[in-house]
Structure 1
Amino acid sequence: MPLQDLYLLRARYTREQGLLGNVPLLASTVPLIFMVFGNHLAYFLPSHNSWWLLVMGISVVSIAWSLTHHFRVKGNTACMIYLIDQAIRQRESTDRRR
């Protein structure tokens, strides 16, 4: 793989790493939304109804999955940037020797 392609891959992963920041915001705002709109939810989902358990369960599962997925992608992106940096350094050192 040419050195220019490695630079392009690094730029792509660096851009992707910069875009990974919305999921923790989601995880911190969803409980706040439930607190703000709690009265409206109580109207639609009365306490004697078991639908509120389903709504809360789905929200907790979706938040847990999105956080897990976010940090997995963030870790993979950091690993790829590290590996590409190592490949670039190795290519540059072999090019200097020639």
Structure 2
Amino acid sequence: MSPLIAEYVATLGPRATGRIRGRARLEIADHGSVLLSEAGAEPGTSDAAADVVLGASDAVFRAILSGAQNPITAYMTGKLRVEGNVQRALKVSGILTGS
């Protein structure tokens, strides 16, 4: 596991625990994937099953995590790609922003 993915897992694990049903996959461009579930966060693979997939660059995900970028605005401007259930994507955005 790369240090960058380990950092995402450590940051998002506590935020995701008990807050999401099913699985969400974050695809961090050129770095790998993180799977979020009710159990927390873990390193993922690009083919891991998920109800929703969010894809963006590391810079965009970091901006969302810090609160500098609104995830809905990122999606509407094409910085954040969403595949799958949009309602679950909104739940994941709450986890990413810590709200």
TM over 0.5: no
RCO higher in structure (CA 8 A, sep ≥6): 1
Q: Which has the larger radius of gyration?
A: 1
TM-score, normalised via structure 2 length: 0.23
**Structure number with higher strand proportion:** 2
